Amino acid sequence: MELLEQIVRAGVVGLGGAGFPTGKKLDCRVEWLIVNGAECEPLLRTDRYLMRHNAGRVVRAAGAVARMVGAKHCVIALKRAYTEEWKALEAALVGEGTVPIELFPLDSFYPAGDEQVLVYEVTERVVPPAGIPLDVGAVVSNLATMNAISDAMDGIPLTKKYITVTGEVKRPTIVRAPVGTSFEECIRLAGGSKEERYCVIDGGPMMGKVMGYEEAREAAVTKTTSGIIVLDEDHYLSVLSKTPVGRMKRLASAACIQCSYCTQLCPRNLLGHPLEPHKIMRRFAAGGDIPSLLDDPAVRQAAICCQCGVCEQYACPMGLTPRRINALIRDEMRKAGIPYERREALWEADPERRNRKLPTKRAAARSGVLDYYDFEIDTLAEAAPSTVRISLRQNMGAPAQPVVQEGDRVREGQLIARCPEGKLGADIHAGIGGVVTKVTDYIVIEARG
């Protein structure tokens, strides 16, 4: 079986966040294959754990994928501060002689792991606004995705996720959990929460989704779950996430001083893209509701915002919310069927970019999570849940369609939902063996004897 078919059959998707189906992404021919080991979100440690303990599997998959896509250059990009991870990868590279693989050192800045930022760091090529790395001859794949591809090469489908569980827990750890495992179970494996009531960030503190206590208790691991960060229920990030649109508008009208720091530090703007958040804030503060602003060319640039949060959690001295406003504008553009108008140009990075990178530790401090930044996490806990609740919406594209019914007995690794024919998506497999007890937007499996 060819590698691309193995990846598709295993249901592998991008494990860095967006969940784009990997079989579709790697169906290409490129000059550069870049393996993203930057793990730039403060507090996340999953990729670093995999580099230290699964380096051989990562290198094996990178070499195989490089051959498949015809890459002239294969690079694993990681921060130069990751000394133990660097040593482990170097040792693994000794046995990989069929495709030259290089390690590329990155500074400790945020968002070093952003796909377009990473392409520029490695190749010095700017991906066009609203473009993809393929536009400049590159493809980027997350390091954890490479680990999953290595499993796929051995016939093992993607059913388990490595997750950083940290923050206000008693024993911050890496949890390896079947897809569908409850967040509660993952938190329990990290010693439990120190707080009686808490909020959870699904992902990292800069870009992750903030969940209240009740929502977190109902949440379950998906293929794209990278981190579970437990914080006090009234943490700054929780309060910020609850700001209603009306209040955002009043604050922008009263407090935006047009300092343009949000634009000066915007990673997209620093790549030369025409995104200027301060102009969007000016129009939002002075204008009517969001749909009435969509004819403005400056406002439409919100479509290319990467939602990194630098503007909102670091740059703005007035505590305003440019990222959330950009997201609302982008959603309204999508509802109105307004596409982003790409224009042909020679895009060049800002000469000041090097001096305006946000140090990762500063990002942690401004996000209110500095207390957890220096945690050394190198322990692994294996989750063995008695019940899993597996969402049929695990990735970018169409939801998978169930191929099992209530009452069916399934084994671990068995196909339980299939990508619709002709659609973008990925298959889903059972993370545990047992009996299917419910099929809706989720498939519930109970491990019965």
Which residue, chain included where needed, has tokens 């943490």? Answer: 235
The tokens for 104 are 């590329």
In the chain, what percentage of residues exceed pLDDT 90? 92
Tens-place pLDDT, residues 71-87? 999 999 999 999 999 99
Strand partners, 73: 32
Give how far the C-alpha of residue 154 lies from the chain's centroid of Cα atoms, to the nearest Å: 25
Query: Is residue 98 very low, low, confident or very high in pLDDT (cuts 50, 70, 90)?
Result: low
Q: Look at domain 159-235+368-385 and name its CATH class.
A: alpha beta
DSSP states of 182-211: BHHHHHHHTT-BSSSSEEEEES-TTTSEEE
Per-domain boundaries in the chain: 3-153, 159-235+368-385, 245-366, 386-449
pLDDT the model gives residue 100? 87
Q: Return the pLDDT at 96.
A: 64
Higher pLDDT, 249 or 121: 121
Q: Give the residue-averaged pLDDT of 365-394.
A: 96
Under CATH, which number does the domain 3-153 receive? 3.40.50.11540
Backbone φ, ψ for residue 253 (5° rounding): -65, -40
Mean pLDDT along residues 11-16: 94
Q: Record the tokens describing residue 258, joined without a space.
A: 């047009």
Give the residue carrying structure tokens 């530090």. 265
CATH topology of domain 386-449: OB fold (Dihydrolipoamide Acetyltransferase, E2P) (2.40.50)
- Residue-wise pLDDT for 305-356, tens only, equals 999 999 999 999 999 999 999 999 999 999 999 999 888 878 999 999 999 9
Res 132 pLDDT > 80: yes
- Please answer whether residues 326 and 307 qualify as being in contact, where contact means their C-beta atoms are separated by less than 8 angstroms: yes
Report the distance separating Cα 420 and Cα 405, nearest Å: 17
**Residue 209 to residue 207: CA distance in whole angstroms:** 7
* Diameter of the chain measured on Cα atoms: 64
* Per-residue confidence (pLDDT) for residue 51, from 0 to 100: 98
| Residues 39-60: tens digit of each pLDDT | 989 999 999 999 999 999 999 9
Residue 449: pLDDT band with limits 50, 70, 90? low
Give the residues across from 36 on adjacent strands: 77, 142
Contacts for 242 with CB less than 8 Å, ≥ 6 apart? none
Residue 180 has pLDDT above 80, yes or no: yes
Structure tokens at 183: 């967040």
> What is the Cα–Cα distance from 186 to 225, expressed in whole angstroms?
12
Write down the residue that tokens 């001859």 correspond to: 137
Q: What percent of the chain has pLDDT over 70?
A: 98
pLDDT given for residue 287 in this prediction: 78
